[in-house]
Each structure stands twice: as structure tokens, then as C-alpha cells.
Amino acid sequence: MHFALPPRKTSNPPPYMPRSKRLHTLRRSRLKLIAITGLFFLTVIYLLTRGNGHPKLKKRMPTGNPPVVVVTVFDEAKYGKGYIDTIKENRIKYAEKHGYQTFFANIGDYDLKGAPGSWTKVVAMRHALTKYPECHFMWYLDQNAFVMNPQLKIEDHIMKMAKLTDLMKKDQPVVPPDSIIKTFSHLTGQDVDFVLTQDKEGLSVGSFIVRNGEWGEFFLDTWFDPIYRSYNFQKAEAHALEHIVQWHPTILARLAIIDQRLINSYSQGNKGDQYRDGDIAVRLVDCVTAGAQACETESQRFTQQWRTSFGKS
């Protein structure tokens, strides 16, 4: 179609777009290049950071509050209240001195499904772990025992890495004298989560130290397995321990046997190494078979001694 006249121009023409400086420098081809490089880098970053499926679980590090928990299991049915209170006082005073905590349990507190009462120490240790999840170590010390030298701290005296490496006995038969299972010779203090001693009869469970951690839980759970409790080991939990230590290398590899007098001196020398002044603790072993009264009498000479040594410091 043709019109006679060309159409009228609009009277307010659109203003020209100002020429953008930026657009000028970024030409289309360059933009393309930038986009491609960007994409490439994003791909590389994606591939590298895609994560390797399952990140390792962060190992929970306990803060060390309290550093050590002293665990003792009492037999209130058998022993007099005064005697037990003396022992509790001994533990509490020692714990207060270094900022430790104590954990006391009684035989009968836990349902052992018919197993001997001495099994209580294992479950009590597990309970202490639950109650003090931030502790570094738990020291189980038998009822008939006294801390004699309050100056010694567990974490310095025994559990210091470098020191423990020197203290631990390597290539030592687990059950003396002639067990073919021996402690590993390549371990250092870092590998150790469980420290105990031997007396003349074998592994002694009257005084031992367990480090807080996954392994500690595993070890205590395994030791407390109902299948061991129902097996009628002659010496209950002590023989169960000897059994698992000899049959399960994951436990043997975390264990250190140290000299008996470091944590487990005996009041008399016929069952093991005898107490000498300066040792951290003394255990009354012989009196247990004789009865509660014998222990209370024997304890008196040590009670004097630890009271003076606690008073001095």
C-alpha cells in the first residue's frame, strides 16, 4: 500500500542509548571465552570438592575435666561402715588434691544376672565413663586399698606418653610364667588405652587404668559380655580378662603391663611385690580370704601412714 504522504515522525523521538563503555570492552567473543573458562573452572572445582563420599568421623577428644576418675566398688554388706568410710575419705582426699572425681559403687547396684559380685567393677567403670564423659583416664582401685602417696598424679606418674613407653613391658608373657601370648614389642605409649599389672598369679584386676574413648567403651562392653559372666570362670572377671586378652589381638594391642609397684603394691610379699614407702598405693590382698575383720585390723597401720602423708602435703 502506498500512502500519499509518509507517516509522521513521532514528535518525541526516543533518546539514543548511551554507548556503554563496559559493553564495548567485553565483546561477544570475549564474553564467550570468559563463560567457557568459568564453566571449566567450576567443573574442576566441583570434581575436586565433591567430597569423597563419607568424611571420616571426627574423633571426639575429651577435654579432661576431670582428668582422672577414681573408681571403687564397695561391699557394704560384708565390711563395716567405719572401715568403708575411711577408704572413701582416702579416695576423696586424693581426688580433691588433684581436681579428680571419685565414683563409688556397691556390689548389688547392678544386675549381674547371677554372676559373682566381683563383676561389678567392670560395669562400674562403664558407668563412670558415662557419668564423666570428659575425663581422660579412669583408675579402678580395689576397696581394700589406700592411696599412700598423694603427690603422684596418675596422668604424670604413669600415663604420660613418653614415660609409659619406658614403663610398659614388651614381649612379656600375658599370663606368667609361660603363656605363649606375649605383649607386642612394637607398641609405644600412644597406642595404650589400658594399663594393668601382673602379680604372681597372673593379671591383677585390683588396680588398673583405662583411657576414655571408643576403645575403652568397646573393651568394657566386651569384658562385661554376659557370655563370659555365665561361663563360670574360676576367678570370674579376672579369668575372663585373661581370656579376652589372649584371644583377641585388638585388645592385646591396646594394653600395657607395667611393674606391679607402680600402681598395685601389696601389703605383704607372698602374692606379689611388696609395698615400699613412696609407692602410690597399697592393696591388702591376703586379708580378703580371712574375712572383713582381718582387713580392718591390717588397714590400721596404713591408715596412720596415709593420714600423715596427706597432712604433710
Partner 1 sequence: MSLSRSPSPVPGGGWASPGLNINSGRSSPTRGYTGGTSSATPVMWESSRLKKAGGSGYPSFQTQGSGFLSKHMRKISSSLPRFNTSNSSPYAEKEKLGRGRWSAQNVPLLGRIRGLMGRMGRKMKIRLLLLFMLLFCIIIFYNTPLVYHWRRTSWLGGGQKFVIILAANIGGGVMEWKGAREWAIERDSVRNKKKYVARWGYDLEIVDMSTKKRYAHEWRESWEKVDFIRTALRKYPKAEWVWWLDLNTFIMEPSYSLQDHIFNNLHKHVYRDINEYNPLNITHPMTEEHLDPDSRSPVGDGNVNSVNLVLPQDCSGFNLGSFFVRRSPWTDRLLDIWWDPVAYEQKHMEWEHKEQDALEQLYTTQPWIRKHTGFLPQRMINSFPTGACNENGNDTRIHYDQKDRDFLVNMAGCEWGRDCWGEMYNFRELSYWLNRNPWELFKEEFVAVIWFKLTGQKVKL
Residues forming contacts to partner 1 in the complex (CB under 8 A) are 47-48, 50, 52-57, 110, 123-124, 126-127, 129-130, 133, 214-215, 217-218, 221-222, 225-228, 230-231, 243-244, 247-251
d(CA 155, CA 259) in angstroms, rounded, equals: 16
CB 155 within 8 A of CB 98: no
What is the smallest separation between the CB atom of 215 and partner 1, expressed in angstroms? 8
64 or 213, CB closer to partner 1? 213
Sign of CA dihedral 194, 197, 202, 206: negative
What is the smallest separation between the CB atom of 13 and partner 1, expressed in angstroms? 38
199 or 217, CB closer to partner 1? 217
Which residues, at least 6 apart from 45, have a Cβ–Cβ distance to it below 8 Å?
A: none
53 or 82, CB closer to partner 1? 53
What is the smallest separation between the CB atom of 62 and partner 1, expressed in angstroms? 12
218 or 310, CB closer to partner 1? 218
What is the smallest separation between the CB atom of 60 and partner 1, expressed in angstroms? 10
Neighbouring C-alpha atoms within 13 Å toward the C-beta of 158: 33
CB 249 within 8 A of CB 231: no
Give which of 171, 152, 199, 145 is closest to 256, Cα–Cα. Answer: 171
What is the smallest separation between the CB atom of 250 and partner 1, expressed in angstroms? 4
252 or 258, CB closer to partner 1? 252
d(CA 110, CA 121) in angstroms, rounded, equals: 10
9 or 59, CB closer to partner 1? 59
What is the smallest separation between the CB atom of 132 and partner 1, expressed in angstroms? 11
C-alpha cell recorded at residue 13: 523521538
| Beta-ladder partners of 258 | 197
52 or 289, CB closer to partner 1? 52
Q: 178: which DSSP letter? A: T
Sheet containing 145-147: order of strands: 145-147, 281-283, 265-266
What is the smallest separation between the CB atom of 202 and partner 1, expressed in angstroms? 17
Determine phi and psi for 147, rounding to 5 degrees: -75, 120
